[in-house]
Amino acid sequence: MGSFCKISTFAVAIVIIASCAQKPRQIVISPDNAVFHEKGEIITFKGTVLDTKGKPIANQAVIWYSSDHNVAVADNGVVRVVGSGEATISAMVGNVIGTAKVRGTIVSSIIVTPEKLSMKLGETIPLTATIKDDKGNTVTNMIPIWESENADIASVNEKGEVTLLAKGSTNIKATIGKISGSAVVQMKQMSNKPKIAPAATPSEQQNNKSNWMDKVKDWFKGTGKDMFNDGLKKGIQKKK
């Protein structure tokens, strides 16, 4: 009988311990949303495992993974950016899963047009920056930072509008992160050579000749005729 009681007490203890063990019910990941801008960028996530009462459970083996390895890869909560796009980062303990989002655009090039700009003093002309991501797509939701390498020669505002302030040349840069593109701005050279009219074509020469003869005829019919008659009258009067 004594031996039976010892076995029963041990069995009850096992049941109590099993019923009191903390069971994961939820995994909260922070941050739950992250934005990246550069390839190779590192984002660190933290996963907190909660029990049925919402209390943290320590020493849990959490498995991390990414939904798209072309965008990001995950290892123990440390996420490394691979390419542009969006991916879901998941943390799993048993059948319990928590998720977070990572998204972003990796700029690969910025092309400024026109590449060379000749301007007059005081003139303002806009430049355009075309932004490409690492997949060759044109990015329309990003604005570069504009800067003049020599603000004494040319200034540029946040819209890329350039104003020439003095003689000389300088570079105007458009930058996002570590990627930039540039254009050369310089003063327009004014030519001192006299302008020479192009030679008239044969048809133009014939027209000019015809016009000249018509003008002579008109003159004789009008002013020339009057002058001739006046001269004739004066000559007759002198003879008398």
Question: Which has the higher per-residue pLDDT, 3 or 149?
Answer: 149
When pLDDT is averaged across residues 71-84 and rounded to a whole number, the result is 96
Distances from the Cα of 10 to the Cαs of 16, 20, 22, 121, in angstroms? 10, 16, 21, 97
User: pLDDT per residue over 181-199, tens digit each?
Assistant: 999 999 987 665 656 666 6
When pLDDT is averaged across residues 227-232 and rounded to a whole number, the result is 59
Instruction: Calculate what percentage of the chain has a pLDDT beyond 70.
Output: 70
When pLDDT is averaged across residues 207-228 and rounded to a whole number, the result is 65
Distances from the Cα of 34 to the Cαs of 37, 96, 100, 144, in angstroms? 10, 22, 8, 21
pLDDT at 176: 95
> In the structure, what pLDDT confidence band is assigned to residue 239 with cuts at 50, 70 and 90?
low
Residues ≥6 apart with Cβ < 8 Å to 81: 36, 38, 39, 40, 41, 42, 43, 71, 72, 102, 104, 106
Q: Is the pLDDT of residue 17 over 80?
A: no
The verdict on pTM exceeding 0.75 is no
Residues ≥6 apart with Cβ < 8 Å to 24: 49, 50, 51, 57, 60, 93, 94, 96
Structure tokens at 97: 């899963």
pLDDT at 137: 95
Q: Is the pLDDT of residue 70 over 80?
A: yes
Structure tokens at 23: 């069971």
Q: Is the pLDDT of residue 4 over 50?
A: no
Q: Is the pLDDT of residue 11 over 80?
A: no
When pLDDT is averaged across residues 145-159 and rounded to a whole number, the result is 97
pLDDT at 200: 63
When pLDDT is averaged across residues 80-92 and rounded to a whole number, the result is 97
pLDDT at 196: 66
